[in-house]
Amino acid sequence: MALETKHTEKKAGDTVPGTKPLTEGFLNYKKIWLLSFVLTAAFAIIPVIFFGVLDYNLTRRSLENDAEARASRLASNTWRSLASFLDERKNALNYVVRSNSFEQLGNTPQLTKILNILHQSFGGFTDIGIINATGVQSAYAGPHGLAGKNYKDQQWFKDTIAHGTSVSDVFLGFRNVPHISIALRHTAPDNTYFIIRATIEHQLPGILSQVKTSINGDAFLINTQGVLQTPSHYFGDVLEKTNIALPPATDQTRTMTITSKGGEDLIAAFRQIPNTPFILVVLKSKQVLMSPWHDSKVTLIKYLGISISAILLWIWAVTGYFVRRLKLLDLKRSKYFHMAEYENKMASIGRLAAGVAHEINNPLAIINEKAGLIKDMAHFKPELKKDPRLLETVDVILTSVKRCSRITRQLLSFGRQTQTVPVPLTLKSVLDEVLVFLVKEAQLKNIFVDIDVPDTLPQVIGNRGKLQQVLLNIVNNAFAAMPRDGRLSISAQKTDEPFVRLKISDSGCGISPENLKHIFEPFFSTKTNQGGTGLGLSITYGLVQELGGRINVESKLNEGTTFIVHLPTTTQKEE
């Protein structure tokens, strides 16, 4: 069979309206309830939340400021200790170079004696050396045997030549041990210059280890490139690169919140140590410092939650009561309206069917009578009996009259729907009664109908007229959604439950996902500009519910739509 259509999307169709619509009525009660609940709750809860959030933020900001102030004070005290330590060693080297002649400093035993005195007086010196203008260490005292090493390519050597004094970054050097150097440039008697240099290996981490940070706190040095100069609990060992975003250089202590490698929030205080490449970083765990606020936050949230919950429960109960009452009234109105509409339509269909049957049967009876007379005359007149074409033509006329009579009887039976008590029905016969009205339309539009409904299926229980209308509505929608040369597949099978599953699939344009969820809603249609009412599938849904079954729909755009109807069998009725 065949059918073509200009309809672009299959939706709640424009089939003949029938019985009552979806039980949800005309109004969107969920939206009404949600809107009433949200508006009422907003007016009641917003002031409570506003003052709760205000207190929450004020308390948190106060504790954060206090935590930042404590970290800042600790950083300020610590950088002074580090600056004093480095200044003492620079002053000691300056004293050494001024109180000893160039010849004494160039004498290794004398230089070793000076190193011992520095150890006894100040501590913190690893070794000491004299470097000439070419960068060669001409005299050395210390444990690493670095006499004769050339430092002209070292950065600290270049900085000392340029500025007269330098404190280096931590580096490995020839000894392959992390250390810093303190160097001073001095003029020799022959007007050439030389450099006195001392190194420090382990003293800076020792000083920082004495800083009393809070639990999970940390204090370390980094340079301006973010490279660790001392070990850090959070960021790794010496000379490892960190991801810390340093604040702009300033002579003030700056505080900010950073995140450790493990994702923990830390309050960090930064302070540049003057005349050095070092930046002191003092870290305090934000979680530990803010623990008093967390305790008060839990209490605040608990009481706020209890208050809001009580308000919401009361609003929920009151709003739900009024919306349920509104829904009940609207459903009653909708029910009575569609019952009256259904009765009126059924009466009109019955009168129309009776009139059509009467008007058609009268001329059919005359045609049948005259064709029978011609056939009788052919038997009595030899000249007519000898013409086989005449008898064949009369038989065709009689066959067509019988077919027309059968169609009028089916139309009259379809329109009456006088049955009120559910009875056993053969699904195949009911389906044939519906399709007989659509055969000609399908042939004209070249839609192929594939039917696979076994005769061995158990009978379904229900109302013949309602089942006919369900099938007619679904098939009509399928025809409307298919282009020319489409395909309609109808199959049925028994399920494990006492139901027969009827599956009606078309090769039409399909339904979009956003429209699919509204497919059974009353008055929803994509064909309103083509005369669609949006009641066809809504009435179909209601009829299936009245029959004791259920209906589902599956669809994909440009692939087709499948309606799956489960109808109760006589087995269920017996149970």
Task: Kindly indicate the confidence band of residue 195, based on its pLDDT and cuts at 50, 70 and 90.
Answer: very high
pLDDT at 368 over 90: no
Query: Helical H runs in 246-290?
Result: 286-289
Model pLDDT for residues 527-574, shown as the tens digit of each residue: 655 555 556 787 788 888 888 899 999 998 888 999 999 999 876 655
- The one-letter amino acid code at 575 reads E
Residue 552: CB atoms within 10 A of its CB come to 10
Whether 112 contacts 129, CB under 8 Å: no
SS3 543: helix
Highest mean pLDDT among 40-54, 99-113, 378-392 belongs to 99-113
Averaged pLDDT of the chain: 81
Task: Kindly indicate the confidence band of residue 492, based on its pLDDT and cuts at 50, 70 and 90.
Answer: very high
pLDDT at 416 over 60: no
d(CA 423, CA 460): 8
Q: Give pLDDT, residue 259.
A: 85
pTM, full prediction: 0.45
Q: Give pLDDT, residue 380.
A: 73
Give the mean model confidence (pLDDT) for residues 372-397: 74
pLDDT at 342 over 70: no
Task: Kindly calculate the radius of gyration of the chain based on its CA atoms and give it in whole angstroms.
Answer: 50
Strand pairing report for 560-568 and 550-556? antiparallel
Strand partners, 265: 259
Using alpha carbons, list the distances in angstroms from residue 43 to 53, 302, 309: 16, 21, 15
Q: Which of 300, 292, 293, 228 is nearest to 261 (CA)?
A: 228
- Tokens (6 digits) for 146: 């670095």
pLDDT at 280 over 60: yes
Q: At residue 267, what are phi and psi to the nearest 5 degrees? A: -90, 120
Give the mean model confidence (pLDDT) for residues 238-255: 88
Task: Kindly indicate the confidence band of residue 345, based on its pLDDT and cuts at 50, 70 and 90.
Answer: low
Give the mean model confidence (pLDDT) for residues 364-373: 77
pLDDT at 243 over 90: no
Using alpha carbons, list the distances in angstroms from residue 178 to 420, 421, 479, 555: 100, 99, 86, 72
Q: Which of 157, 182, 159 is nearest to 85 (CA)?
A: 182
pLDDT at 467 over 60: yes
280 class by beta-carbon count within 10 Å (0-12 exposed, 13-18 middle, 19+ buried):
buried
Task: Kindly indicate the confidence band of residue 466, based on its pLDDT and cuts at 50, 70 and 90.
Answer: confident
Give the mean model confidence (pLDDT) for residues 491-519: 88
Strand pairing report for 127-131 and 137-141? antiparallel
The residue with greater pLDDT, 7 or 289, is: 289
Q: Which of 9, 12, 11, 37 is nearest to 324 (CA)?
A: 37
Task: Kindly indicate the confidence band of residue 222, based on its pLDDT and cuts at 50, 70 and 90.
Answer: very high
d(CA 537, CA 523): 9
pLDDT at 17 over 70: no
- The one-letter amino acid code at 433 reads E
Give the mean model confidence (pLDDT) for residues 253-261: 86
pLDDT at 335 over 70: no
Give the mean model confidence (pLDDT) for residues 450-464: 89
SS3 146: coil
The residue with greater pLDDT, 133 or 572, is: 133
d(CA 239, CA 227): 6
d(CA 564, CA 547): 15
**Domains along the chain with CATH numbers:** 85-204 (3.30.450.20), 422-574 (3.30.565.10)
